[in-house]
Amino acid sequence: MKRIAAFLIVFVFVAAISTAYAHPPSDIKITFDAKTKMLQAVIMHNTSNPASHYIKKVDVGLNGKEIIEQAVSKQDNNESQTVAYLIPNVKDGDVISVEAYCSISGKLQKEISVKF
C-alpha cells in the first residue's frame, strides 16, 4: 500500500512540474492580403525544445465557421510557428479567426476583420 501511495505522490508531482512549463501561445499576428487572398499567421510561442513542446494544431475560421484545421508535428523554431493559407472566398467585412493549440497545455485565438 505504501508503494502505491508513494508512486501516486511522485506521479502527481511530475505531472505538476511538466504542466508548470507548459503555456499557451502568447500572441498571434494575423495578416491578410486582399489581392492574393493569402492569410498569414505568426504564432508566438517560446519554447526551449520545439520538437516536444510546440504548436500542435491551428484552426482557421471564417465568420464563426471553421474552414481549416491543420495538425503540426514540430514548431518552426524556439519562438514561433508561421502558417499561411489561401482563402479565396473572403469578402470585405468578413472576420477571420486563428486558434493555435500548445502540444502540452493551452490555446489562444485571435481574429481580424477583412478590409478591401
Q: What are phi and psi of 111, to 5 degrees?
A: -145, 160
Q: Which residues are CB-neighbours of 48 under 8 A, at least 6 positions away?
A: 78
Distances (CA, A) of 84 to 5, 35, 47, 68: 49, 15, 21, 11
Determine contact, residues 64/51, Cβ cutoff 8 Å: no
Rounded to whole angstroms, the Cα distance separating 99 from 86 reads 17
- At 21 the pLDDT is 58
Regions of the chain where pLDDT drops below 50 = 5-8, 10-20
Q: What's the topology of domain 24-113?
A: Immunoglobulin-like (2.60.40)
Q: Which residues are CB-neighbours of 114 under 8 A, at least 6 positions away?
A: 32, 34, 90, 91, 92, 93, 94, 95, 96
- At 16 the pLDDT is 38
Q: Which three cell numbers stand for residue 98?
A: 486563428
Provide the whole-model pTM: 0.81
Q: Which three cell numbers stand for residue 41?
A: 499567421
- At 25 the pLDDT is 95
Cα–chain center distance at 83? 10
